[in-house]
């Protein structure tokens, strides 16, 4: 497996101007390599649990996630909704009102590259296959309001859009 596709050795958190941030990269979103199964009910949700433990209000997740191909007939400005649902599911513990407001920024690579191994996510497990594929793009900013118990997509890009995403999130 290519080194940029492996989970890191741990997560990071830091303070900036009075706000606590957590930082993760790509495969940090997936369970530890020693975990054989994942479920929406039981997880594990290691990155989300770290964010909660650190009381981070903002999570920055930098990814190189491949396109799911599940709605690939859509235009460049359309997000890869299957991948978006997967990201939101992996961070599910963050969307609980008793845990407070959160902002999640996910910056995902877009474009193509040949000769990659792709992780295909299913509801029960991860599968791997060799491929030359398109990255999912679909970078976005999510904001969770504990008061309204509501998760909102504050801004986002499509699967093939290369742009600077600029939006305002309230804390």
Task: Name the token pair of 163.
Answer: 């742009």
127-161 pLDDT tens trace: 445 555 677 778 889 999 988 999 999 988 887 78
Give yes or no for a contact between 162 and 110, defined as CB atoms under 8 angstroms apart: yes
Report how far residue 171's alpha carbon sits from residue 162's, in angstroms, rounded to the nearest whole number: 27
For tokens 């600077």, name the residue: 164
For tokens 């900036």, name the residue: 16
Give pLDDT, residue 167.
86
Give pLDDT, residue 117.
52
Give yes or no for a contact between 44 and 32, defined as CB atoms under 8 angstroms apart: yes
Give pLDDT, residue 82.
81
Give yes or no for a contact between 165 and 140, defined as CB atoms under 8 angstroms apart: yes
79-129 pLDDT tens trace: 878 888 888 898 999 998 788 899 999 888 877 766 555 555 544 444 445
Report how far residue 60's alpha carbon sits from residue 48's, in angstroms, rounded to the nearest whole number: 12
3-state secondary structure of 35: coil
Length of the chain: 171
Report how far residue 44's alpha carbon sits from residue 35's, in angstroms, rounded to the nearest whole number: 8
The per-residue b/e assignment along 62-82, b for 16 or more CB within 10 angstroms, e otherwise, is ebbbbbbbeeeeeeeebbbeb
24-78 pLDDT tens trace: 887 777 766 667 777 888 888 889 999 999 999 999 998 877 777 777 665 667 8
Nearest alpha carbon to residue 99 among 139, 59, 43: 59
Distance of CA 162 to the CA centre of its chain: 18
Helical H runs in the chain?
A: 46-53, 81-90
Give pLDDT, residue 128.
47
Give pLDDT, residue 102.
94
């Amino acid at each position: 497996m290519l080194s940029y596709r492996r989970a890191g050795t741990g997560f990071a958190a830091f303070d900036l101007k009075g706000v606590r941030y957590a930082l993760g990269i790509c495969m940090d979103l997936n369970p530890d390599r020693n975990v054989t199964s994942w479920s929406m009910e039981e997880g594990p949700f290691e990155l989300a649990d770290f964010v909660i433990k650190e009381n981070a209000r903002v999570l920055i997740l930098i990814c190189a996630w491949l396109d799911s191909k599940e709605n690939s007939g859509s235009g460049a400005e359309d997000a890869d909704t299957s991948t978006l649902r997967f990201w939101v599911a992996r961070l599910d513990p963050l969307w609980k009102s008793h845990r407070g407001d959160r902002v999640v920024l996910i910056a995902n690579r877009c474009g193509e590259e040949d000769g990659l191994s792709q992780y295909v996510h299913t509801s029960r497990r991860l599968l791997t296959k060799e491929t030359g594929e398109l990255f999912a793009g679909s970078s976005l900013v999510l904001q969770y309001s504990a008061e309204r118990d509501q998760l909102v997509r504050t801004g986002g890009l499509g699967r093939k859009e290369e742009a600077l995403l600029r939006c305002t999130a309230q804390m």
